[in-house]
Amino acid sequence: MREHGNMHNTGGAMQRLTPAERLVAAMAMRGTPYKSIARSLDKSPATVRNQLHMIYQKLGVSNRTALSCALLSDL
């Protein structure tokens, strides 16, 4: 329920992310695994995992599904 409550407060969610975070978030929303995101962006999987964690914190979500909902609510 936490994610649902935050969806109403995510206006401009994408704008709160850095360009690098936006790219990671977009790939995560498509279900791309950490390792594949890391390979595509020439980063370590740990870096991608950390970036995704920071994205979750910024947007007040806790998983990829809630991330997708938060970002899609901007559309």
pLDDT digit string (tens) for 17-48? 999 999 999 999 999 999 999 999 999 999 99
pLDDT attached to residue 2:
44
Give the Cα separation of 27 and 9 in Å (integer). 23
For the entire predicted model, the pTM comes to: 0.79
pLDDT of residue 26: 95
Q: What is the DSSP letter of 14?
A: G
What is the band of 4 on the pLDDT scale with cuts at 50, 70, 90?
Answer: very low
Burial of 42 (0-12, 13-18, 19+ CB in 10 A): exposed
Domains of the chain: 2-72 (1.10.10.10)
Predicted confidence at residue 30, as pLDDT, reads: 95
pLDDT for the residue 1? 39
42-48 long-range contacts (CB < 8 A, ≥24 apart) are 48/24
**pLDDT of 64 strictly over 60:** yes
